[in-house]
Every structure is written in C-alpha cells, then in structure tokens.
Amino acid sequence: MDYLELRDKYPVFYYHEFEIYESEQEVQIIFDFEIEGLSHFNPAFLIPKKDCREVGFLRIFREAAFSLGLIELLSYWKITCSPKIVIESGFLNDDQIQWWRKLYYNGLQEFFYHNHVNPSFDEFVTLEVVGEMIEGQEDRGRYHGNLIPVGGGKDSFVSMELLKDLKADNHAFIINQVKSAIHSAQAAGYDGDRCIVVNRTLDPRMLEFNKQGYLNGHTPFSALAAFAAVLTAIVYQKQYICLSNEASANEATIKGTSINHQYSKTFEFEQDFKYYMDHYITPEIHYFSLLRPLSELQITSIFSTLKDYLHVFRSCNVGQKEEIWCGHCAKCLFVCIMLSAFLDNEELIDIFGKDMLNDTSLQTLFEQLTGMLDDKPFECVGTREEVNTAVVMSIRRAEAKGKALPKLYQAYKESSYYPYYEHATLDYDDLNMETLVPEEYFSLIQKKLQERQNEKL
C-alpha cells in the first residue's frame, strides 16, 4: 500500500496505556495501542519471577515499562506510518521527545529504504504528549552482577567466556523460547534459574494487516531488547547489562549513507541509551557492550578456540526455529568467512553441514560482504575491511598447508581486491577505545587477547 495514502487516511496513532499485572511467579505488561479508524493492538511482555521482590509499584519499573511501550509501538505504527503519535500513558519532556524521535528516525532507515520513502526528520512523525508523570515508590534495592543477553551466536559465547569467573552472580537473558539461544546459554552453564527467558507476545491483528498489504519492515529490535533487559534487571537487581555488540556495528549497510541495519547496536545508540537511563530511569543499571572494544576478527579468534561451543552456536535467522544453518543467507556465509581465518575448510563443513566456500551460488553475497558490490546485505555482519582480512588470512593458511583454495577464494585471488588486502592480518593490540566498558571488565578483554596472541606465537 502507498505510504502517503495511508498517512492521509490514518493520521493518528495512540499509545493509550500500559497495565502491569504482578504475581509471585511473574510480572506482565499489556499495552494498548490504536491506529484511529483501523484497530486497537494489545501486545504483551512477561518476565518470570522466582524468589524475587515485587516491582510493579516502583517508579523505575513503571518508567521502564512505559519506555518499552514507546519502542514496541513501532511494530504497529509502521502499518500506516501515521504522522502523529499521541501519548496518553505517560509524560515526556522536550528532551525526551527529541530522544525518541532520533531513535525512531535512525532505527527505521531500513524500513524507509525498503518501502521506497525518504521522509525528513522534521516531518516523518510528531509526538503529542497528553499523559501525566509516571508515579511510584523509589527503589532502595542494591544492584549487583551481570545480565547477559544471549542470542545463540558466537558473540554472546565470547561474552559468557569473558565473564565465566563471575558466573555465580550472572544471569543469561533471552527473549522468547528461541531454542538455539536457550541451548547456547545451557552449554555455557546457565540453566535453570540462571537462564531468564522472557516472553514477548505480538498482537495477531498486526500480522493480519501485514498479510493484507499494509506497510511492513525492519524496526530497531535491539532497542526493544535494551528496555526489556532493563525491566528484567530491575526484577533481578542486576547492575550490568552486558551486550555483545562489536565495533563493526557502527558501519553503514548502504555505502555512503546513514542507513544501518544495526543502528540500535551502534555505539551512538549505546551512548544515547546510557544518557536516557541516567536521566530518566535509573543510573543504578549500566547498559554497555562488553565486546565493543573488539573487532569481529578478534571475537572470532577467541571463539574459534572454544571447541565445546563450535557445534552448539547458531547465528542463522532463516534456520533459527529449526536450529540449523541454512547455508544460503548472508549471515551463514559471513560467519563461515570469519571462521575460515582460523579453521580449515574441512572443519567449517563439519560445523555448518555445508561447503559454503565452494558454493558459487553465493558469489553475489560474497561480493556484497567484501565490498566488491557497494551495499552490504541487511544483516548483522562485520565491516568490509574485516571480511577481506579474513579472506586473505584464510588464503595464506591454506597455501601454507599446501591445500587447494575453495572456489569463492580462488575467484577472489584473481580479483583486484586481493593485491590490495594481500598482507592484511589481525592485530591483537588494536582495540577500539570508544566504549562504555567498566575498567575492571576491560582488563578481562585485554587478558583474553593476550592469551590468544601468545597461542598464535
């Protein structure tokens, strides 16, 4: 359907309210959104509790729940992209309004791109706030330990490895019953009560409108996960939310633009989120990416040594429900390329169940990942520089062992890219210093990299 026609027909989106229902076993939040003239929507979010305090009356929990609704609403707002959002469920000052509009605008760039629209920041949506200040009791709890979001990929395994000596005070955090994520957490020793699985329920009416041809597309899920993690950290009194986003998330997906599939994984968003937490929710909970100092290659180098996890991890979104690698998507190929810098092709075939580096049907994806084609796939993948470095490192390893190069790498060696990157390699001392990582955790990263460098020597 047409973007402008939908905005004209459905000019107002309402965030009416959020309701908190709490028992000894769980706390549930139900939202009430409405596209005026089309439908109400009532998604829900549930956090399990066991031997946890009551939280529903706390101001910070209610403020975080209100904020979760402000990001959750995008999944429903995007159906018609109504030019006005009326917020009746809470209060935002001018600074907060600008904060949310920035997140909406940057986090929806992929959505706008695929729907062939290019709205200006000033005109794409206005927020009209008619609600009142969130009230509740002040929190006097003491926060300690780590909440580690786990998605099932190599990055969260590296975070869990870095924090393994603190395991007694850690919890794994997962949204919905994603088997690969749950099994990954269990493989790292986070099972039973140490693995918190929260439940996000979408309103089926949204899915029905999508089938009917209303607008659909990518929303900044990592921002939603951030507020969901904060709510969970309040329940379990966790001081640190330790993400696994690396430095490469900052690179744009569409070359020469600000369009980034991973915007809500960028350091810019991480800084903005800290600002919002400190000023409007609580400074007691510190949200940061533990892996921000590291490149994808450094992360993969560490992960390649964690042999117990090589057959457990999963990063493929296509095969997520079946816990498989599809072997045909950009994410599968990217992870395979990264690991090829440290593992032989026979080992890769054993891990993925497919010989991707000899699959010439993946040539276009390969050229997108390396930068031979300008635009990267809309996936959570590393920088073009990192991909090229991994490829030439793999070529050197294979040739040093007298092994034939896989077909994708044979073609690469004949390209103009190979001479440019021929001598590129991984620098274990090159750390990204734009991070929010606490000093005591930064030292864990440096120690692990030094260990890995010594192993290579």
pLDDT attached to residue 453:
84
* pLDDT score for 315: 84
Determine which of 155-169, 220-234, 241-255 has the lowest per-residue pLDDT on average.
241-255
Residues 154 and 306: their CA atoms lie apart, in Å, by 10
**From 19-33, 55-69, 287-301, 362-376, the region with the lowest mean pLDDT:** 362-376
Checking if the pLDDT of 249 tops 80, the result is: no
Q: In the prediction, which pLDDT does 390 show?
A: 96
State how far the Cα of 420 lies from the Cα of 127, in Å rounded to an integer. 49
For tokens 């350091």, what's the residue? Answer: 267
Q: In which band, very low, low, confident or very high, does the pLDDT at 99 lie, cut at 50, 70 and 90? A: very high
Residue spans per domain, the chain: 3-289, 320-426
Distances (CA, A) of 410 to 153, 377, 398: 28, 22, 11
Task: Please report where in the chains the tokens 């607008």 appear, as a residue.
Answer: 215
Chain centre distance of CA 105: 17
pLDDT of residue 269 exceeding 90, the answer is yes
Residue 217 scores a pLDDT above 90? yes
Mean pLDDT of 139-149: 93
Nearest Cα to Cα of residue 125 among 97, 163, 145: 97
Is it the case that residue 350 has pLDDT exceeding 70?
yes
Contact 389, 425 (CB under 8 A): yes
Helix runs in 245-329, H state only: 267-276, 296-303
Task: Give the model's pLDDT for residue 255.
Answer: 78
What is the model's pLDDT at position 170? 96
What would the mean pLDDT of 142-148 be, rounded to a whole number? 96
Name all contacts of 255-262 with Cβ < 8 Å and 24+ positions apart.
255/371, 255/374, 255/375, 255/376, 256/374, 257/109, 258/106, 258/109, 259/109, 259/110, 259/113, 260/106, 260/109, 260/110, 261/110, 261/218, 261/376, 261/378, 261/379, 261/380, 262/222, 262/380
Share of the chain above pLDDT 70, in %: 100
- What is the C-alpha separation between 292 and 262, in angstroms, rounded? 14
The number of CA neighbours under 13 Å toward the Cβ of 195 is 22
Which of 167, 170, 168, 175 lies closest to 150, judged by CA? 175
The two beta strands, 84-87 and 146-149, are: unpaired
Least confident of 209-218, 259-268, 359-368: 259-268
What is the per-residue pLDDT for 56? 94
pLDDT average, residue stretch 154-163: 94
Report the C-alpha gap between 398 and 247 in whole angstroms. Answer: 28
CB 259 within 8 A of CB 253: yes
Question: What region, left, alpha or beta, does residue 454 occupy, with left being phi > 0 and alpha being psi -120 to 50 degrees?
Answer: alpha
Rounded mean pLDDT of the chain?
A: 93
pLDDT tops 70 at residue 457: no
**pLDDT value at residue 180:** 86
Q: What is the largest CA-CA distance in the chain?
A: 71
- For 85, the token pair is 């959002």
- Look at residue 338 and tell me whether its pLDDT is greater than 60: yes
Please check whether residue 264 is in contact with residue 273, taking contact to mean a CB–CB distance below 8 angstroms: no
- Give the count of beta carbons closer than 10 Å to the beta carbon of residue 389: 23
Count the alpha carbons within 13 Å of 31 in the hemisphere toward its beta carbon. Answer: 31
Identity of the highest mean pLDDT range in 47-51, 172-176, 242-246, 319-323: 172-176
Rounded mean pLDDT, 309-330: 86
pLDDT score for 179: 87
Tens digits of residue pLDDT in 253-263: 887 888 878 89
Q: ∠229-230-233 over CA atoms, to 5°?
A: 85
